[in-house]
Amino acid sequence: MKNSFKIKVTATSHLILAAMLTMTISGGAVGQSQGASQPSERCSPLFRTSTGRQVDASFSAHDYSKKNIGAVGISIFPGRTLTMDAAHTLGNKLVDALKHNGVEARCFVHYDNGPKGTGINFKIAGLSWSKDGPLNILEATNVETLRGVIAEAKTARALLSSN
């Protein structure tokens, strides 16, 4: 049975990769440039507990997706070669790709760089989309990945909002 909705992520996915590849590379880190633009407001601040403790990007994305059925929470843990500005840019491009295909989304970027590579996770209805753990940048911007996330989010919205 074929999906009845049109997916327009191919061009958007290529734009994401092009944007990431054309960013200034300085000192081994992507996106470090003089006068870097401010990240869009779509990458949200991390959530806080009732006691005021800030939680990480993964829990923030989990909480957002659980409270907003059919929406996708994107958590990004920047690695040692990805700056905060570049992480916000990547998150905004992913949000744009999902919204372009009818899925609400918000991104959450962890507040400091980790010692390893960048990890990206999509949360739908409070659950991780990938069963194998966080995705790297190429995996997260892959057309098939985005198609899978879109289909899963739309299915969750249809199934869980009918109750």
Q: Which residue's structure tokens are 């944007």? A: 19
Whose CA is closest to 73, among 111, 40, 110, 106?
106
DSSP code, position 23: S
Q: Considering the domain boundaries, does residue 62 fall inside one?
A: yes
Position 48 pLDDT exceeds 70: yes
CA distances from 105 to 115, 118, 146 (A): 27, 20, 12
Q: Considering the domain boundaries, does residue 100 fall inside one?
A: yes
Rounded mean pLDDT, 94-123: 90
34 or 89, which is more confident?
89
Rounded mean pLDDT, 79-84: 84
**Could you tell me the CATH number of the domain that includes residue 120?**
3.40.30
Whose CA is closest to 125, among 109, 140, 103, 97?
103
Q: Considering the domain boundaries, does residue 2 fall inside one?
A: no
Q: Considering the domain boundaries, does residue 5 fall inside one?
A: no
% of the chain at pLDDT higher than 70: 73
Q: Considering the domain boundaries, does residue 3 fall inside one?
A: no
CA distances from 65 to 75, 83, 96, 124, 131 (A): 11, 25, 16, 5, 17
CB atoms < 10 A from the CB of 21, how many? 9
Q: What pLDDT sits at residue 131?
A: 77
Rounded mean pLDDT, 41-67: 83
Structural domain containing residue 111: 10-33+41-160
Q: What pLDDT sits at residue 42?
A: 55
Which residues, 6+ apart, have CB-to-CB distance to 114 below 8 Å? 77, 78, 79, 80
Q: Please give the tally of structural domains in the chain.
A: 1
pLDDT digits (tens, 9 = 90+) for 134-163: 999 999 999 999 999 999 999 999 998 865
Position 125 pLDDT exceeds 90: yes
